Structure 1
Amino acid sequence: MNELTPSPALLCANCGTALQGEFCHACGQSIHSVLRPVSHMLEDAGDLFLHMDERIVHTLPPLYTKPGFLTLEYFSGRRIRYVAPFRLMFVFCLLAFFFVHLAFSDVRFGDDDEAAPPDSVGAIHAAKTPEDVRRLYDAQIGELDAAIANPDLPAAAKKGLELGQDVVRDAANRRLAELKADPIPAPVGHAAPARAGDERKWTHEPTVVDIAWLPDVVTRRIAVGIGHFKANIARLGEGGEAKAEALKRMGEGFFSVLPQTMLVMIPVFALILKLFYAFRRRLYMEHIIVALHSHAFLFLSLLLLMVLGFAKDAIRPHAWPAASLIGLVQGIMWVWMPVYLLIMQKRVYRQAWPMTILKYWLIGSVYFWLLLFAVTVAFFIGASH
Structure 2
Amino acid sequence: MSAPNEAKASSAGHGHDDHPSHCENCKAELQGHYCHACGQSVHNPVRNLGHALEEVFESFWHLDGRVFRTLRDLLSPGKVAREYLAGRRVRYIPPLRLFVIVSVMTFFVAQFAIHVESNTHFDIDTAQSTTVRLGNVKKQMRDADSVAEVEELRARMVGELRTAAAAAPVARNAIEASIVSVQRQADKRIELLKAEQGLDAEQVATQRAEGERLAGAPRPGSIDAAKNLAEVERLRDERIAALQAQRAQAVPQSRESSDYAGLIRQANLEAGCRIAQLQVAHAGRSEGAGLRAPDRQRYGEVECDNSEGPLSFNGRPWDPKTNPLKVEWWPQFANDWLNRQVGKGEVNFQRATKDPALYIHALIGAIPSALFLMVPIFALLLKIAYVGSGRGYLEHLVVALYSHIYLCLALLAMFVLMLLGDAIAPHWAGVVWLKGLAIGLLWTWMPIYLLIMEKRVYANGWPLTLLRYLLIGSAYFFLLSLATVALMTAAIVRM
Q: With structure 2 as the length reference, what TM-score do the two structures score? A: 0.55
Q: Find out whether 1:376 has 2:492 as its counterpart.
A: no
The 8 Å contact of residues 66 and 91 in structure 2, kept in 1 or not, is answered as: yes
- Looking at structure 2, the residues matched to 286 and 236 of structure 1 have their Cα atoms a distance apart, in angstroms, of 42
Matching residue's letter, 1:76: A
Q: Find out whether 1:261 has 2:373 as its counterpart.
A: no
2:219 pairs, out of 108, 124, 141, with 141
Match of 2:347 in 1: 234
- Higher mean C-alpha deviation, range 263-272 or range 80-89: 80-89
The 8 Å contact of residues 232 and 384 in structure 1, kept in 2 or not, is answered as: yes
In structure 2, relative to structure 1, the CA distance for the partners of 1:301 and 1:180 (3 Å cut) is closer
Match of 1:291 in 2: 400
Match of 1:49 in 2: 60
Match of 2:40 in 1: 29
The 8 Å contact of residues 261 and 374 in structure 1, kept in 2 or not, is answered as: yes
In structure 2, relative to structure 1, the CA distance for the partners of 1:312 and 1:243 (3 Å cut) is closer
Match of 1:83 in 2: 93
Matching residue's letter, 1:350: A
In structure 2, relative to structure 1, the CA distance for the partners of 1:92 and 1:225 (3 Å cut) is farther
In structure 2, relative to structure 1, the CA distance for the partners of 1:261 and 1:236 (3 Å cut) is closer
Q: How far does residue 35 in structure 1 lie from its aligned partner after superposition?
A: 1.6
- Looking at structure 2, the residues matched to 330 and 43 of structure 1 have their Cα atoms a distance apart, in angstroms, of 35
Q: How far does residue 378 in structure 1 lie from its aligned partner after superposition?
A: 0.8
Matching residue's letter, 1:36: R
Within a 5 Å distance, the mapping from 1:1-385 to structure 2 comes to 10-64=21-75, 66-105=76-115, 106=118, 112=126, 139-142=217-220, 166=267, 168-173=270-275, 179-180=298-299, 201-202=317-318, 204-205=320-321, 224=337, 227-234=340-347, 236-237=349-350, 244=354, 255-385=364-494
Q: How far does residue 364 in structure 1 lie from its aligned partner after superposition?
A: 0.4
The 8 Å contact of residues 208 and 223 in structure 1, kept in 2 or not, is answered as: no
- Higher mean C-alpha deviation, range 258-267 or range 290-299: 258-267
Matching residue's letter, 1:233: E
Larger relative contact order (Cα-Cα within 8 Å, sequence gap ≥ 6): 1
In structure 2, relative to structure 1, the CA distance for the partners of 1:257 and 1:301 (3 Å cut) is closer
Matching residue's letter, 1:97: F
- Looking at structure 2, the residues matched to 249 and 333 of structure 1 have their Cα atoms a distance apart, in angstroms, of 25
Match of 1:4 in 2: none
| DSSP-derived class of the 2:447 partner | helix
Q: Deviations over 1:213-250 (max 9, x none)?
A: 99x9xx67x8557524422413544xxx79657x6666
- Looking at structure 1, the residues matched to 25 and 328 of structure 2 have their Cα atoms a distance apart, in angstroms, of 53
- Higher mean C-alpha deviation, range 37-46 or range 353-362: 37-46
Q: Deviations over 1:107-138 (max 9, x none)?
A: 759x949x979979x99xx9xxxxxxxxxx98
Q: Deviations over 1:330-374 (max 9, x none)?
A: 332222211111111010000001111111111100111111111
Q: How far does residue 77 in structure 1 lie from its aligned partner after superposition?
A: 1.8
Alignment RMSD (CA, Å): 4.5
| DSSP-derived class of the 2:421 partner | helix
- Looking at structure 1, the residues matched to 362 and 449 of structure 2 have their Cα atoms a distance apart, in angstroms, of 32
- Looking at structure 2, the residues matched to 243 and 329 of structure 1 have their Cα atoms a distance apart, in angstroms, of 30
In structure 2, relative to structure 1, the CA distance for the partners of 1:51 and 1:27 (3 Å cut) is closer
- Looking at structure 1, the residues matched to 386 and 373 of structure 2 have their Cα atoms a distance apart, in angstroms, of 21
Q: With structure 1 as the length reference, what TM-score do the two structures score? A: 0.69
Q: How far does residue 328 in structure 1 lie from its aligned partner after superposition?
A: 2.7
Matching residue's letter, 1:70: V
Matching residue's letter, 2:344: A
| DSSP-derived class of the 2:218 partner | helix
Q: How far does residue 302 in structure 1 lie from its aligned partner after superposition?
A: 0.8
Q: How far does residue 316 in structure 1 lie from its aligned partner after superposition?
A: 2.9
- Looking at structure 2, the residues matched to 13 and 236 of structure 1 have their Cα atoms a distance apart, in angstroms, of 59
Return the index of the structure with the highest Cα Rg: 2
In structure 2, relative to structure 1, the CA distance for the partners of 1:348 and 1:310 (3 Å cut) is same
Match of 2:152 in 1: none
The 8 Å contact of residues 73 and 80 in structure 2, kept in 1 or not, is answered as: yes
Matching residue's letter, 2:88: R
- Looking at structure 1, the residues matched to 407 and 352 of structure 2 have their Cα atoms a distance apart, in angstroms, of 36
Matching residue's letter, 2:343: K
Please list every run of 5 or more consecutive structure 2 residues that lacks an aligned counterpart in the other structure. Answer: 1-11, 14-20, 135-154, 165-214, 224-262, 280-296, 303-309
- Higher mean C-alpha deviation, range 328-337 or range 276-285: 328-337
Q: How far does residue 276 in structure 1 lie from its aligned partner after superposition?
A: 0.3
The 8 Å contact of residues 320 and 339 in structure 2, kept in 1 or not, is answered as: no
- Looking at structure 2, the residues matched to 28 and 333 of structure 1 have their Cα atoms a distance apart, in angstroms, of 42
Q: How far does residue 176 in structure 1 lie from its aligned partner after superposition?
A: 5.5
- Looking at structure 1, the residues matched to 407 and 114 of structure 2 have their Cα atoms a distance apart, in angstroms, of 19
In structure 2, relative to structure 1, the CA distance for the partners of 1:225 and 1:85 (3 Å cut) is farther
| DSSP-derived class of the 2:70 partner | helix
Give % identity. 34
- Higher mean C-alpha deviation, range 164-173 or range 363-372: 164-173
The 8 Å contact of residues 45 and 55 in structure 2, kept in 1 or not, is answered as: no
In structure 2, relative to structure 1, the CA distance for the partners of 1:229 and 1:310 (3 Å cut) is farther
- Looking at structure 2, the residues matched to 299 and 203 of structure 1 have their Cα atoms a distance apart, in angstroms, of 42
